Structure 1
Amino acid sequence: MLALAHARITIMANIILLEDESVLRAELADFLGEQGHCVDTAGSIGEFEQKFCPERQLIAIVDLGLPDGEGLDLITRLREDGDRIGIIVATARSGGRNKAKGLIQGADHYLSKPFELDELAATITALARRLEDGAIRPRWLLDTLRCQLTPPGKAAIDLTSQSYIVFRTIVSGAGKPVSRRKIVEALGENYLHYDQRRLDTQMYQLRKLVLDACGMDLPVATARGRGYQITEAVDLRG
């Protein structure tokens, strides 16, 4: 069994998790999501290659024994392609020789199953911090006086008052899921009498506004059954 972590992370990261065992994959994805990370999952190398986006994902967690190939070969290809991504091996293959081989192939860290979730969380935080420190990465900016959202490297986007309130409330969660109730009440509405479809429409319009204006996705993920959470760092000004 994997032990639950008690410490919260301070750095959010976009992660792709490659694990063929479905129960463990779901457990790890839920844990990482609760820690504030945005997680894509894959059960095979083929699925990983379909979902992998080096411009968006910062860290890959890779199992080695996979149904359609060898995780070490995937790591080699990632390094040969020159993709700037942190790689954490999470595998049942223990022992110094296996660990040395994984690190030589290009992994940044090597965790042997079973591992503590605290250890995984700390490894991700350390690796994300090192990767972020090694590059200048523009951040989203929310102007709280002008109600404007500025995507990285793009022009400012004017938000409606309601869109601003919705987005600002989600940002206040600092990467943790923000409940629909909290968002509705921030809008000054009674949650018990509020038509939930209005919030769905509000989120759709906000996402479309940002996508149409700059070609980028709004950094907000749906936390199933819990609300919404921010997936990238957002600076506040005003």
Structure 2
Amino acid sequence: MKLLLLEDDDLLAESLAELLEDNGYRLDVSSNLNDAQAFMATEQYALAILDLGLPDGSGVDLLKRWRKGQVDIPILILTARDTWEDKVVGLRSGADDYLTKPFHEAELLARLHALLRRRQGASHGYLQVSGIQLDEEAQRVCCDGEQWASLTATEFRLLRYLMHHPDRVHSKAQLLDQLYALEQDAAAPNLVEVYIARLRRRLGKDLIQTRRGQGYLLVSHRSS
């Protein structure tokens, strides 16, 4: 699952990137409005984290442009502006949540999980699709009520993305884009095949289907 971070403090951006990647997210980082706008126009994100005070303009103005342009992903404002007036402006401009600096890492992660679960329509702590339960905090999976099994970081990112978008065909290129950030060296497309095979061994062969020449999809209802 890929997130967009707009933050002009290099040290904070680096720290956040490490935190989020350790917790199974992929991250593209922008330090200015123009780059963030370009990323949003060309990439697919599950959520954006937005600072307000930026070197080339206002994060609130960018937020308003995104909402007017039908950008409907959850957006979390992360800023040093801590007055109630700032919070009201941010939320009324289209933000889904507002967190002030300094912050506790556990609270940031909890808010991200809550926003993503809310978008998925889930009130519990697990993603559930087709008999699979995915524990996002512990990065483990349970299939058809069997014992929980731990996932590697890449297995977890891939399965979570597929579960957030069931019954949709995803090309290898789209899946790689979700697994690796833009600044990383390009990964070989056959890595997707490797991790799809690993997930099938854990979950069964019929859950993740191959569409020849198109890609893969996770089915939300398995045939009896």
Hey, what's the Cα distance between the residues in 1 that align with 2:95 and 2:77? Answer: 6
1:40 alignment counterpart:
28
1:106 alignment counterpart:
94
Hey, what's the Cα distance between the residues in 1 that align with 2:2 and 2:33? Answer: 18
1:6-85 alignment to 2 at 5 Å?
Answer: 13-53=1-41, 56-85=44-73
* Pair 1:24–1:69, CA change in 2 (3 A): same
Contact 1:15–1:38 (8 Å) recurs in 2: yes
Letter in 1 for 2:55: P
Q: Is the partner of 1:216 in helix, strand or coil?
A: helix
Q: Is the partner of 1:20 in helix, strand or coil?
A: coil
1:221 alignment counterpart:
180
Q: Is the partner of 2:156 in helix, strand or coil?
A: coil
1:149-160 alignment to 2 at 5 Å?
Answer: none
The higher relative CO (CA closer than 8 Å, separation ≥ 6) is in: 1
User: Are residue 237 (structure 1) and residue 204 (structure 2) matched?
Assistant: yes
Instruction: Give the percent of matched residue pairs that are identical in Structure 1 and Structure 2.
Output: 33
Contact 1:20–1:44 (8 Å) recurs in 2: yes
For the pair shown, the structure with the greater C-alpha radius of gyration is: 1
Letter in 1 for 2:74: G
Hey, what's the Cα distance between the residues in 1 that align with 2:109 and 2:42? Answer: 21
Hey, what's the Cα distance between the residues in 2 that align with 1:216 and 1:37? Answer: 15
* 1:221 CA drift (Å): 2.4
Letter in 2 for 1:21: D
* 1:35 CA drift (Å): 0.5
* 1:126 CA drift (Å): 0.4
* 1:97 CA drift (Å): 1.1
Q: Is the partner of 1:52 in helix, strand or coil?
A: helix
Alignment: residue pair count: 152
2:80 alignment counterpart:
92
Contact 2:24–2:154 (8 Å) recurs in 1: no
Deviation string for 1:105-145 (max 9, x for gaps)?
111000111011111100100001111228xxxx9xxxxxx
* Pair 1:172–1:24, CA change in 2 (3 A): closer
1:175 alignment counterpart:
157
Contact 1:17–1:40 (8 Å) recurs in 2: yes
In structure 2, list runs of 5 or more residues that go unmatched.
123-128, 130-150, 159-170, 206-224
Hey, what's the Cα distance between the residues in 2 that align with 1:58 and 1:79? Answer: 15
* 1:175 CA drift (Å): 3.3
Q: Is the partner of 1:82 in helix, strand or coil?
A: coil
Aligned Cα root-mean-square deviation (Å): 3.2
Contact 1:57–1:85 (8 Å) recurs in 2: yes
User: Are residue 120 (structure 1) and residue 108 (structure 2) matched?
Assistant: yes
Scaled by the length of structure 1, the TM-score of the pair is 0.56
Contact 1:15–1:40 (8 Å) recurs in 2: yes
Scaled by the length of structure 2, the TM-score of the pair is 0.59
* Pair 1:54–1:129, CA change in 2 (3 A): farther
Hey, what's the Cα distance between the residues in 2 that align with 1:21 and 1:88? Answer: 17
Contact 1:88–1:107 (8 Å) recurs in 2: yes
